[in-house]
Amino acid sequence: MHELSLAENVIRIVESAALKARAQRVGRVRLGIGALAHVDADTLQFCCELAARQTLLADAIFEVEQTPGQARCNDCQQEVALEKIGFPCPQCGGFDLLVTAGEEMQVLEITVA
């Protein structure tokens, strides 16, 4: 499962940040998932809870929010919002789009205790 390997990465990143900050445990993690990243937010949250067992994040609350997709349209030369891969340009209806944001995953915020 794609989400589980992402979740394991998240745990590793957050745990090493928490260790550097000499935290005893992590209370909350806010994640941003690009709308075009092919990641299911609920599944990712569940996988994070699984992967967090026996780490500093064992009791952490995971919040996953979606960040918008964006693309550059080569037909009308505009930066446009893109809901899904395969959708046309909302400005001109063209399909010559280059995705510029929304495929990434970010750790937005970590709350330690």
Does 48 belong to an annotated binding site?
no
Tell me if residue 48 falls in helix, strand or coil: helix
Of the ranges 23-31, 36-44, 52-60, 65-73, which one interacts with Zn ion (CB under 5 A)?
65-73
Does 88 engage in binding with Zn ion (CB under 5 A)? no
Q: What's the burial of 104, exposed, middle or buried (CB within 10 Å: 0-12/13-18/19+)?
A: exposed
Q: Give the shortest CB-95-to-Zn ion separation in angstroms.
A: 9
Strand ordering across the sheet containing 26-34: 61-67, 26-34, 105-112
**Residue 43 or residue 91: which is nearer to Zn ion going by CB?**
91
Measure the CA–CA gap between 66 and 101, rounded to whole angstroms. 12
**Residue 59 or residue 79: which is nearer to Zn ion going by CB?**
79
**Residue 55 or residue 91: which is nearer to Zn ion going by CB?**
91
Does 76 engage in binding with Zn ion (CB under 5 A)? yes
Distances (CA, A) of 10 to 19, 27, 66, 104, 110: 14, 14, 16, 13, 11
Does 6 engage in binding with Zn ion (CB under 5 A)? no
Does 38 belong to an annotated binding site?
no
Contact positions toward Zn ion, by CB under 5 A? 73, 75-76, 89, 91-92, 94
